[in-house]
Amino acid sequence: MASIINVDTINEKTSGNGVKIPSHSVQEVHHVCNAANTLSSTSYVDVAGASTTFTPKFANSKLFVQSVQHIYCEQYGSSWGAANTAIMIDGNLQSPAGSDTANQLGVGSRDTNQSSSQTTRILCYDHQTCTYTVSSTNPIIIKIQGKVFQAITTCNVNVYSRGFIRVTEIAQ
């Protein structure tokens, strides 16, 4: 004989934290990044306004972190210019590298048919994702860093549009 249970609310009896169901979303935070930035460093540096503090509800949860940042690149002549962003969680840079681990190129431009007086301009979004397993319920800092490759003329982040950071906690 099958039974049916109909409920409106389920509360954990002692802690009031709710019910933990493995592989289900526990909480989500969305942070808008709209501070203007200019990148000129060839090493990763913080993108202003692109950080958030996240407090996990459970000590062994996985975080799914997404970053989308708006990037404007301008390059004179036919030289190569590129930029990239990466996610940093509690001081640990989450590698954006593909199979070419030496070059993480999220956004780039090069026009080999231009004269030195012409410019190539590109507006686009750089998207990064990572998963991260937390070990406590202490607050953690999640921030975005960016860098340029080569001698790019201009690289602006979140000037002409905005980006975001989204963090989703998944129970284990």
Q: Please indicate, yes or no, if residue 36 is contained in any of the structural domains.
A: yes
Q: Please indicate, yes or no, if residue 145 is contained in any of the structural domains.
A: yes
- The neighbour count for residue 135, using CB atoms within 10 Å, is 11
Q: Please indicate, yes or no, if residue 53 is contained in any of the structural domains.
A: yes
What would the pLDDT profile of 67-122 be if each residue is shown by its tens digit?
999 999 887 766 677 888 999 999 999 977 666 555 666 676 666 565 666 677 88
pLDDT given for residue 120 in this prediction: 77
Mean pLDDT within 131-159 = 90
Q: Please indicate, yes or no, if residue 20 is contained in any of the structural domains.
A: no
Q: Please tell me the number of Cα atoms within 13 Å of 50 on its side-chain side.
A: 30
pLDDT given for residue 144 in this prediction: 96
What would the pLDDT profile of 120-134 be if each residue is shown by its tens digit?
788 889 999 999 999
How far is Cα 159 from Cα 45, in angstroms, rounded to an integer?
A: 17
Of all residues in the chain, the percent with pLDDT exceeding 70 is: 79
Domain of residue 132, CATH code? 2.60.120.760
Residue 150 in 3-state DSSP?
coil
Q: Please indicate, yes or no, if residue 66 is contained in any of the structural domains.
A: yes
pLDDT given for residue 164 in this prediction: 97
How is residue 36 written in tokens? 């203007």
Q: Please indicate, yes or no, if residue 165 is contained in any of the structural domains.
A: yes
Range of the domain at 77: 25-95+106-112+124-170
Predicted model pTM:
0.82
What would the pLDDT profile of 8-49 be if each residue is shown by its tens digit?
776 666 665 667 788 889 999 999 999 999 999 989 999 999
Q: Please tell me the number of Cα atoms within 13 Å of 25 on its side-chain side.
A: 8
Q: Please indicate, yes or no, if residue 4 is contained in any of the structural domains.
A: no
How far is Cα 128 from Cα 36, in angstroms, rounded to an integer?
A: 19
How many domains does the chain divide into? 1
How far is Cα 153 from Cα 67, in angstroms, rounded to an integer?
A: 24
